[in-house]
Amino acid sequence: MSEDRIKSSAIDDSRFRLLIDAVIDYAIYMIDPDGIITSWNAGARRFKGYEEAEILGQHFSRFYTEDDRLAGLPQRALDTAIHEGRFEGEGWRVRKDGTHFWSHVVIDPIRDASGTLLGFAKITRDLTDRKMAEETLKQSEQQFRLLVQSVTDYAIYMLAPDGRVSNWNPGAQRIKGYLPEEVIGQHFSMFYTPEDRDAREPQRTLDVAVREGRFENKGWRLRKDGTRFLAHVIVDPIWGDTGTLLGFAKITRDITEVTQAQQALEQTREALFQAQKMQAIGQLSGGIAHDFNNLLTVILGNLEIVRKRVTDDAKITRLIDNATQGALRGVSLTQRMLAFARRQELKSEPVQIPALVDGISGLLRSSLGPSVKIETRFPQGLEPVMADLNQLELAVLNLATNARDAMPNGGTITFSARPHDVTESSDTALATGRYVCLSVSDSGEGMDETTLASAMDPFFTTKGVGKGTGLGLSMVHGFIEQLGGRFILKSRKDHGTTAQLWLPVATRGAVLQPVVKTQPVTVPRLCVLVVDDDSLVLTSTSLLLEDLGHRVLSAASGSRALELFEHNPDIDLVITDMAMPQMSGAQLAHAIRIIAPQLPIILATGYAERLEGFAAHLPRLSKPFTQLNLVEIIALAMK
């Protein structure tokens, strides 16, 4: 070899060494055939920690972990390089300070021209950061997989771009009923209803998710057993780094129970609002009826006295009679208002429903007209119910009249009844017990939902101005509720209406008491103390009593009545209003009874009130009353 070529080779070797030494991201060094380190670059020094003087002449196995050395991995790596021409692998290695790092290793055998093994070239790269990132990602993926697999309240699964299911979590299995092997590979449209599939809803779902980046909706889905459930669905597209659509992530939640609970809550709120509204209107109606009864008491009382005084003039007599008839219509109106407010006086007794309907059948046929057909369907042995006979008759007549008005071209009204046991598990507002449901059905026009919702409201009517008070159904409702039953109205537009009266069955010990007509009784002249906070009622009652020949003391309050009672020991009877400020009629009666335990006391009231103690057994005079009513109640009290 010429001198120039030798110099050139030396220069190349020098440059190559400079290049190797300049590399700091790779450990590049040589080892002899026995594994002894013969060279060391800057990269090896940087991430293995050894200086060249410390490591030259040492065996390269010192970089391996104790377990790997015991397993013979260093020699296996050299043998692989010799037999296969190259060794490449990854594993943990040890730095000078004892810390471990993850390395990628390449070992190439070095041979001369004759094939003799001169040693090995070893390149090591520190991949600890990448390894830790991979481990973190792997751990994150495992945690996410465990999370998804642990969720049972949500169906979480993946879809391929064409909509086929690619995985399946336990939540999906629980909600939809399919095992993974039954559903993976199938198109997700299998969960949709036939009508949604016909409308191409599955494809629209994927299209919206791709176009808008997300799809969210509620709808009915199918389980494996064919049952339906209401689902809340979210579909998100999954994009690759290059913008390629990889598939979809789909989350489904069964919200059937939640929705039903929400609907039940809304219905409860609506029922509460309706109850509060009806209670408020009932209180208002009861108060108006009470005040109106006082006015009617005054009007009827004064008309009665005037009627007695003018018997010679027929025209005046006719005027008085017309005024009296008008006042009696007012009495009927207040009775309906009190029925709605549940403040009317009821006389409950066992009532046979078939006999009641049969008893008023003649009146029904004459009032309903020839175009209306009446049918009855009552089972044999139907139990009697507890009700006020007169009020129940009025309720049935009212319902029949409404049914006739709903059939302007004629039709059929059907009266039917059936017994029913209400238990604690029954879906009804009725108390537990046995009831008879009396139904009055017609084949008329029916009502839409809006009209039906307001039908039982007081003063609501569809009959036009001057053709109805709007108190008929509300009166029936209040009357039935006061009896402890329930009034249910069912109707559909063009499908007729059914009114159901749920009435409690009469107890076995209850018997119908015969009606005993009160015979005219002569009552001696009495000293009567009349108490009422309404001056008009007080004057009218006093005039009626004086017209009967009694001596009257009047008081406008309970305290004034007690003063008169103390100064007039000859008082024979007390007639007191119930509703008075500061001291009610019941409280006044109790105070008088302490002073005179045997003194007769009559309570006058415009509506039914719940009384306790001895006051509940005192004679009651219902407003408005006539002079004859006064005679009868005084005779009863003086027995």
- pLDDT tens figures, 565-605: 888 889 999 999 988 888 988 899 999 988 888 899 999 88
pLDDT of residue 191: 93
244-248, 255-259, 324-328: least confident range: 324-328
CATH code for the domain of 461: 3.30.565.10
pLDDT of residue 221: 93
Is position 537 within any domain? yes
How many C-alpha atoms does 195 have within 13 Å on its Cβ side?
4
One domain for residues 500 and 550: no
pLDDT of residue 426: 65
- What does the pLDDT look like over 77-117, one tens digit per residue? 999 999 999 999 999 999 999 999 888 999 999 998 888 89
171-185, 427-441, 497-511: least confident range: 497-511
Q: Bridge-partner residues for 529, per DSSP?
A: 553, 574
Question: Who wins on pLDDT, 434 or 321?
Answer: 434
pLDDT of residue 114: 87
One domain for residues 596 and 457: no
One domain for residues 279 and 384: no
One domain for residues 469 and 590: no
Asked if residue 238 has pLDDT above 80, the reply is yes
Decide: helix, strand or coil at residue 604.
strand
One domain for residues 106 and 212: no
Put residue 206 in one of left, alpha, beta given phi > 0 → left and psi -120 to 50 → alpha: alpha
CATH code for the domain of 533: 3.40.50.2300
- What does the pLDDT look like over 399-446, one tens digit per residue? 888 888 888 888 999 999 999 888 876 656 678 888 999 999 998 888
Asked if residue 472 has pLDDT above 70, the reply is no
Is position 144 within any domain? no
Q: CA 289, 290, 293 angle in degrees (round to 5)?
A: 80
One domain for residues 403 and 318: no
Are the C-beta atoms of 626 and 300 separated by less than 8 Å?
yes
> Domain end: 205, 225, 254, which one?
254
- Domain of 165 in residue numbering reads as 151-254
Q: CA 358, 360, 366 angle in degrees (round to 5)?
A: 120
Is position 184 within any domain? yes
Asked if residue 550 has pLDDT above 50, the reply is yes
Share of the chain above pLDDT 70, in %: 78
Are the C-beta atoms of 539 and 566 separated by less than 8 Å?
no
Is position 513 within any domain? no
* Residue 18's pLDDT band (cuts 50, 70, 90): low
- What does the pLDDT look like over 285-312, one tens digit per residue? 555 666 666 777 778 777 777 777 776 7
pLDDT of residue 149: 59
pLDDT of residue 466: 39
Is position 84 within any domain? yes
C-alpha to C-alpha distance for 322 and 110, rounded to whole angstroms: 136
Largest Cα–Cα distance of the chain, in whole Å?
170
pLDDT of residue 469: 42
Question: Who wins on pLDDT, 407 or 282?
Answer: 407
One domain for residues 70 and 182: no
> Domain end: 472, 504, 536, which one?
504
The model scores a pTM over 0.75: no
Question: Who wins on pLDDT, 197 or 408?
Answer: 197
Distances, alpha carbon 450 to alpha carbons 406, 447, 467, in Å? 16, 8, 21
Domain count, the chain: 5
One domain for residues 498 and 540: no
Is position 515 within any domain? no
One domain for residues 453 and 573: no
Q: Give the residue ranges of DSSP H helices in 24-90.
A: 42-48, 52-55, 66-70, 73-84
One domain for residues 550 and 488: no
Asked if residue 62 has pLDDT above 80, the reply is yes
Is position 146 within any domain? no
Are the C-beta atoms of 302 and 268 separated by less than 8 Å?
no
One domain for residues 357 and 499: yes
pLDDT of residue 395: 80
Is position 371 within any domain? yes
Are the C-beta atoms of 59 and 32 separated by less than 8 Å?
no
- What does the pLDDT look like over 209-230, one tens digit per residue? 999 999 999 999 999 999 999 9
Are the C-beta atoms of 144 and 164 separated by less than 8 Å?
no
Mean pLDDT of 150-164: 82
188-197, 327-336, 375-384, 512-521: least confident range: 512-521
> Domain end: 340, 375, 404, which one?
340
C-alpha to C-alpha distance for 119 and 36, rounded to whole angstroms: 9
Residues composing the chain: 639
One domain for residues 204 and 269: no
Supply the mean pLDDT for the chain. Answer: 80
CATH code for the domain of 202: 3.30.450.20
